[in-house]
Amino acid sequence: MKTTPYTDLHIALGAKMAEFAGYNMPIQYEGLQAEHHNVRNNVGVFDVSHMGEFRAKGPMAKKFMQYCTVNDVEALTDGKVQYTCLPNGQGGIVDDMLVYRVADDEYFMVPNAANIDKDWAWMSQIADKMGMTLGVDFMNESEQWAQLAVQGPNALKAMQKLTSANIVDMEYYTFQIITFAGVENIILSTTGYTGAGGCEIYIPVAYAKKVWDAVFEAGKEFDIKPAGLGCRDTLRLEKGFCLYGHEMDDTISPLEAPLAWITKLKAENNNFINKDLFLTQKAAGLKRKIAGFEMVDRGIARNGYEVCDAEGNKIGEVRSGSPSPSTGKNIGTALVKAEYGKVGTEIYIKIREKLTKAVVVKMPFYEG
């Protein structure tokens, strides 16, 4: 398994480790529930150094990004971040990612850890066809960066101690390139996968340990604690955030996933891959969709469980499912026939061959 610059630290702290996306990653430290609540109420720190980092620059960079992604890159200005996804040419999704506009001709991207190689291969062939030079105009910098997600309502207050740049007043989905904890060229963005507020910090890998130590020292008064990937999943699910391989994959379109809001079909000058196909799909009406649900009967829905109607006919399958520490309910998402995806519809999850009642609800599951 691959390691991150922090793997030895996680082991020393007693984390429960497991393979994730080919990396030896911390799943939990003191326990999922405690870590979940600490992120919601205080500050939690996630090692997300397994995530990828790409960069496109030069005269073709904007055109390249506009063609590869469904969101409108033209709407970005310097210092802004955009959530988007890569259509795969077949109506599905290669990956979702963040795009940072460094300049009009320079963009920094953050793909998912499990998809780095796939994304690089997919985007590289497009870059090559556009006359971009790999390693010059389009670069894979994934080995050059460590990344910490410092999340929670007090995260920015704690991190402000480590820089003279004003970060506490940063707008959501913006970034700065700053000196942080005495390290130059740190990228700090007000982004995250928890819905709890905070920032994500991209650190030149040689300074990874120095920044980790400074982050935890700065956060002491705010009860800062490390957090594992277990609670990262429950936090993101409560907010209805998509996870690749669950709410989206190579067979699910952005319109079927809850990603229509980032798929800019009306924007001009963004004739991205599959745009005509998605316009046709929207006009015809969706045949299936991702829906959020809460369990009515006792039981926890898990990924892959069958979803049925009251008569036991299969209408879809669960894509994510978990107890929600913040609400006390058992929640999940399912890919179902569109007519069963309306809020208030009763559906049934097949748990141990028993039909267990659930109801479709509006996402997010947790508003706090």
Neighbours of 235 (CB within 10 A): 27
7-50+143-238: CATH architecture? 2-Layer Sandwich (3.30)
- Taking only the tens of pLDDT, the chain with its 368 residues reads 999 999 999 999 999 999 999 999 999 999 999 999 999 999 999 999 999 999 999 999 999 999 999 999 999 999 999 999 999 999 999 999 999 999 999 999 999 999 999 999 999 999 999 999 999 999 999 999 999 999 999 999 999 999 999 999 999 999 999 999 999 999 999 999 999 999 999 999 999 999 999 999 999 999 999 999 999 999 999 999 999 999 999 999 999 999 999 999 998 889 999 999 999 999 999 999 999 999 999 999 999 999 999 999 999 999 999 999 999 999 999 999 999 999 999 999 999 999 999 999 999 999 98
Cα 288 from Cα 248, distance rounded (Å): 13
Domain definitions of the chain by residue range: 7-50+143-238, 54-140, 287-361
Cα–Cα nearest to 67, from 54, 56, 78, 52:
56
Q: What superfamily would CATH give domain 287-361?
A: Aminomethyltransferase beta-barrel domains (2.40.30.110)
End-to-end Cα spacing for the chain: 37
Domain 54-140 fold is: Alpha-Beta Plaits (3.30.70)
Q: Cα-atom radius of gyration of the chain, to the nearest Å?
A: 21
pTM, full prediction: 0.97
